[in-house]
Amino acid sequence: MTDRPDDSETPDPQEEPAPRLPCDDPADSTAGQGWKRGRPPGPEDMTPEFIEVMAKAIAKWHDLSKIVSPALLDGARQIQAQVEAAREAMEPALVNLLTSLASFPKITVPDLTGAGEAVSRLLAKLPRNWPMDDPELIERVFSIVQNEGIPLVWVPRKEIVRQVLQSANRDERIKVLLAHRDEVIQDCRKVLAEVSDGELVIQLPLATSAVDAFADGHNEAAQSLAVVVTETAVSRTFEQNYRSVRNAVKIDNWGDLSMAELRLKTALAAIGPFYTTWFPNSGTPAPTTLSRHVTVHQADAGHYTAGNSIVAVMLMTSIFRAVQESHEQP
């Protein structure tokens, strides 16, 4: 008995054979160069001959219902209708939008070349030892510097400044500074090492000696020398009497300061309390906070304290660096 092929494999004599594509025959001259059986066509195969053969093959599939389900075709027609309806609905709105945009004034984008560099220069003017991540603390700086005479520009380091600002009152702030005595000394030495201005360099050995005396525990000597050295630097910079200097460094509205002058003027603002005067016959107690007048003219053991000594050394260091910065400005 002769085997017959399965009916499903028997070709229908009435059914037109499926069109051959170039990929069906690697030797077909219409195929792109390098075309191999089983490999999808790539950009290199899109020759004019290939496209023509593809078009003819697709044209023979005139009745898509034989290979695509009617439901799918109906769904595609519905989607096409919905898209067309949406386009018609949106068209008036798009026309109105384009008309409105056309009436907008022309915006000219400014030339920002070099803006980043300018911002960097301004940020570099801010005190590097301030905790800028806490704006509420920074607001306390100004009253502490100007009213209490505690220098907070250039020295001490940021971590100590943060603790000083977090303290409840001046006595607590002085305790914080004394608790970090060694770090404050290191900070003062580091900042003084940056001083290179001609006039200040002459005074620099005395400033260094004041820091050395404080480091060795000689509070009275350190305070006296630091006060005199600070007085010399201030008088040579301002060339005014004490009252004029106090008025010159006083800041009435901190909000009026620009970023460029914030560091310099805040450093100088600590001079105000430094110039507090006192006379024995004034009828008032001698000031307990650092006073240039009492230190130099009215020596009193009660005024030469560890707290006043550390403030004197810090003030001297801060003023030296601030004076140099004032000379560096154009």
CB neighbourhood size of 164 (10 A): 23
Read off the tokens for 60. Answer: 């023979």
The reported pLDDT for the residue numbered 240 is: 74
| Count of residues making up the chain | 330
The reported pLDDT for the residue numbered 74 is: 65
Task: Return the closest-CA partner of residue 207 out of 194, 188, 220.
Answer: 188
Q: Which residue has tokens 């805040």?
A: 266
Read off the tokens for 300. Answer: 């009193």
> Residue 290 has what DSSP assignment?
-
Relative orientation angle of helices 181-192 and 170-179, to the nearest 10 degrees:
80
Read off the tokens for 225. Answer: 């020398």
Supply the Cα-derived Rg of the chain in whole angstroms.
43
Instruction: Bin 217: left if φ > 0, else alpha if -120 < ψ < 50, else beta.
Output: left
Question: What are the domain boundaries of the chain?
Answer: 16-62, 133-328
First to last CA, the chain: 114
Residue-averaged pLDDT of the chain: 80
Which of 67-76, 183-192, 276-285 is the most confident on average?
Answer: 183-192
Alpha-helix runs per DSSP H in 250-286:
259-269, 271-274
Q: What is the pLDDT of residues 260-302, one digit of tens each?
A: 788 999 999 999 999 988 899 989 999 999 999 999 999 889 9
**Measured distance CA(235)–CA(233) in Å, rounded:** 6
Is residue 40 over pLDDT 60?
no
Q: Give the CA angle between residues 243, 148, 286 to the nearest 5°.
A: 70
Q: Is the dihedral of CA 278, 280, 286, 290 positive or negative?
A: positive
Q: What backbone torsions phi and psi does residue 209 show, to the nearest 5 degrees?
A: -65, -35
Q: What is the pLDDT of residues 196-221, one digit of tens each?
A: 998 899 999 999 999 999 999 999 99
The amino acid present at 70, given as its one-letter code, is P
Task: Return the closest-CA partner of residue 165 out of 57, 303, 269, 153.
Answer: 153
Is residue 2 over pLDDT 50?
no
Task: Return the closest-CA partner of residue 195 out of 91, 325, 286.
Answer: 325
**Mean pLDDT confidence for 181-199:** 96
**Mean pLDDT confidence for 23-35:** 47
**Measured distance CA(310)–CA(35) in Å, rounded:** 88
Q: Are 313 and 156 in contact (CB under 8 A)?
A: no
Peptide bond into 156 cis (omega under 30): yes
For residues 65 and 247, which has the higher predicted lDDT (pLDDT)?
247
**Measured distance CA(264)–CA(325) in Å, rounded:** 7
